[in-house]
Structures are given as structure tokens and as C-alpha cells.
Structure 1
Amino acid sequence: MAEPQIADTEPNDDSDVQLAVLAARTADDKKATDILILEVGEVLAIAGYFVVCSASNPRLVRTVADEIEWTVKRELGRGPVRHEGRDQQQWILIDYGDVIVHVFHEEQREFYEIERLYLDVPKVDWER
């Protein structure tokens, strides 16, 4: 199997990448784990980027999602188009249009293995 590509994209190159990087860094600040930004635009018509992260318990799932929404609104002035899963706190999806953030409880992420579906897409290097 080929090594995953790392997209050579700086956060200031476009607003979608900037939003995805901000979401990933915010998730990291709130102690989410296994954080990835997948550049899915070439294989998926509904979005350009997926941000995927895990949290160890339902309360942390909600905290990470809330903090991402608050930080993106404060720093970029963007609110989500929609979100799903807040009541269950197992998998919260935050849809910003071209960027979709998935905050998973660790067990749900292991079960769905969403990143397995996108093994061939580039990953954006978001770490500081």
C-alpha cells in the first residue's frame, strides 16, 4: 500500500483549509486524539475536507464539538450549516459546507473506521 500523501498547503492558502486547520488545532487543545484532516474533494462531491478526531468519553465529545463551533465562529465568523449527533454524544458531525468535522467517541470511530474509506486521499499537515 502506498504511503499517504501530505498536502503541501499552508493554513492561509484558502478559507476552507484555514477552517479545517483551526478545527483540528482546537480539537487538539481540548485533548481530542487521532486528529486527521483528509482532503476528500477529489473523491467526494459534498465536501473538500474532513476533519476527524476522537474523544475518550461522551462528555469530551460534546466539549470538543462545542469548542470547535465557538472558536470557528469567533475567529472566522462562520457558523455551521448544520450539525448532528449532539444528543447522543457518540459522533457529532459539524457541517460547514466544504469542511465537515467529525468528532467521534473512540469506540464509534473504531467501529465506523471512516478514514479507511479515504486511504488514498491526501492528508493536510495541521500541527503547529
Structure 2
Amino acid sequence: MAVPEPTLDALHIAAKAAATRQAENIAAVDVADRLGITDAFFFASAPTERQVKSIIDEIEDQLREQLQLKPSRREGESENRWVLLDYGHFVVHVQHDEERENYALDRLWSDAPQIDLPETD
């Protein structure tokens, strides 16, 4: 696996933060060998736009508090159907359940190595 330890730490924090806001289908994949522009993608989803916003805000807050990380870009916030936080070495995608199903990023990256995340139940 090509994902560096600091990125793994950040993904674990993101997973825990998302879980505190009842995110669903939390996952992360190692895309470093396939993309070259980032090491990992983090995915989570929620049934409402309000919950998508809550999850994304919590992830951003926890990464800032614990690791002093700020995203270089934040996109999709106007509708909160698919919000993206770009941290350079990893990208956070929080999607409304319908977008998660329609765009099927999990299937698109199904051949990429899965990253073990902490239990979030």
C-alpha cells in the first residue's frame, strides 16, 4: 500500500468524525498507484443534504483541530448533495445517498486496495 502514515492517520480521524454524525457506508481506497495526483479517496454518505453538511463540517473541524489540516478546495457546498474536500494527499467525498448510488464511486474504484478504517459502529 502506497498511502503514507500521516494520510492514514487523517483518514482514521475523518472516519471517526463522519461516524459521530451518523455517516453511512464509510470507506477509503488507495488510489496512489492509479492516479498520481492524490494517495487516497475517502467516501461517506447520508440520506439528507443537512446531514451531508454536518458530516463534512465535522470532518473538516476534526482534521483542523487534531492535525492542523485545511482543505485546499471545498466544492459542492451550495447544494450539499456531493461535497468534496481536497487535502492534496487525500480527497474526502461525502455524498447524498442518491448521488452515491448514481455515481457509484465505490464500483469505479473497486479494484483499488481498500484502506482499513477504525470500527465506526
Q: TM-score, normalised by structure 2?
A: 0.92
Partner residue, 1:84: 75
Alignment equivalent of 1:73, drawn from 54, 64, 76: 64
**Structure 2: runs of 5 or more not aligned:** none
Quick check: 1:63 aligned with 2:54? yes
Write 1 or 2 for the structure with the bigger share of helix: 2
Matched, 1:15 2:11: no
Partner of 1:50: 41
SS in 1 for 2:95: strand
Please give the alpha-carbon distance, in whole angstroms, between the structure 1 residues aligned to 2:109 and 2:33.
11
- Looking at structure 1, the residues matched to 17 and 65 of structure 2 have their Cα atoms a distance apart, in angstroms, of 12
User: Identity percentage over the alignment?
Assistant: 34
Aligned to 1:26: 17
The CA deviation at 1:17 is 0.9
| Structure 1 residue 127: Cα displacement | 1.8
Q: Provide the rounded CA distance (Å) in 2 between the counterparts of 1:69 and 1:55.
A: 16
The normalised TM-score by structure 1 is 0.88
Match for 2:77: what amino acid? R
What SS is found at the alignment partner of 2:28? strand
Secondary structure of the residue that 1:108 maps to in structure 2?
Answer: helix
Aligned-residue CA RMSD in angstroms?
1.3
- Measure the CA separation in 2 of the matches of 1:101 and 1:21: 12
**TM superposition outliers: structure 1 runs of 4+ over 6 Å:** none
SS in 2 for 1:43: helix
Partners of 1:119 and 1:71 in 2: how far apart? 28
Using the TM superposition, give the Cα deviation of residue 41 of structure 1 relative to its aligned residue in structure 2, in angstroms.
0.6
SS in 2 for 1:52: strand
Aligned length: 118
